Structure 1
């Protein structure tokens, strides 16, 4: 019995390393900390209204696996036994530095991928992992280069997710993809050392801003739009420049606004008030119940409803019949994104109106010759 007790104690201590808060990382990595604090990896249940209000609509916090992965009571939250509480530093840290730098293995699975963390021994400073050559230890932690951080680290959360009914909520990666594309685009090398002391005189580091839809430059680079007028038709080609689908997050909507302007007045447009008037150029994923009725919160979905998307690097041509075009008519094409699509916003009572206001991604125009 004594030997059994020792084995049980050892199993517990292997997973009991002291948690390092995001704030503690700031002491040695101020630049990276500031980047992270400006990123959406720092957003969580407590400071992201859209995420919180969606989570409050469901009986269990099954978002936590990716949005609050360091929580010690994650299993209880996923089982509906408790809800997020800001007194827990691991929960307030969102997608924490400590959690992400402990990933030892990413297991591919049908419903969602699973991050396996490195075992840490109690009573010793933890070992963290990354992609640096010849990393430095500190008084807080050891540091080791791991191949996981060159091509797999993002796959734990950013690959795909299905709900309890097996409905695909999002899919960001194909089966043959890994994290290399994510890292190249969203974590480019930028000027500045990795740490304040800069023992090895490093001149650059990977950005931890994780630029995406909230960054104007990234929005512009993500799509190409070309316009070709011909008689009484307009040909518009939209190309998704990204290595993942145009729509990934279930709450979002992207759409094309096309206008013909003559003498300063709009004489034609592809829709008046609702982008869904032009479904071919409205990119969104809607969900439905077993009867086909629209469901706003993906947790309750029994199947997918209306889905329109562009795959990675995919382009599509749209042809519009318009009144006869005149010389010097301006044709303006604008791509917009809404962070909380109308069907989602309608059930959430969002106070932050920037979540429901269209954000310009790209604008191009041409003059009829």
Structure 2
């Protein structure tokens, strides 16, 4: 900040006043590109080519499916004081503002009401591409999508004979393994873990990331093609997993979207008899609602979307044998759920 005397002296000499910018309010972000995560337009402005390259890696293969107001994300990259990867961010939400803070130099702020996010990162954070993509680029985009245009459902999604099925369950329930096994058996693969029900529609349209599947290392016992694949930690600090790129697998049919006919909760634990039975609708409803956060008007829409999704109830697939599960789901799909 200039002192009054410094400003007075500059004016007396008819010199231009050069203001400082301690809050980086005038920080230059000359690079701009549009991406389409899950088919929704998103514009990134930044001063870093690596940020754009990382965004391209996250959303390659996606194209525009929805004509919505573009999400706007500004990503400023500074030199920073540390050369190491920052810690895991801590997220907080109040009303229409979300924060995601790793430390004083690496954080993001999201305004749901404006569809806008500002991200500040150091060069060291950006150098760790997995960290950048998972904790900041992808999480920011999905956060705005899930509070503006879609309802996030913790479920895999596959389709057979025109029948879309959501495979729901807790983490570790086997959603990735069952959805991929279905795809290997000729089903259409949509997503293995996160499905997004598009708001304000009556056709139960779900979008997902059909470009990849993520498995726990134990999945190598089920799928021989995973043998030899690298076991990585998501974002360098997550649980060990195998990340499979679906795109090169020509034997797998994929789609970014599906119209949902059935909601199926999967259960592989303490199963005495393999069977497909009714699942309590209120339990399904609350399990889906518990992950929601948004502005009140959007939350009302999302709860209505979940109610409509569950109009025909939900089912529970109890199984121990993967092939039996695929066959039973095929019977369900062939009769139109």
TM range (shorter): under 0.3
User: Between Structure 1 and Structure 2, which shows a larger proportion of helix residues?
Assistant: 2
The two structures have a TM-score, normalised by structure 2, of 0.21
User: Between Structure 1 and Structure 2, which shows a larger proportion of strand residues?
Assistant: 2
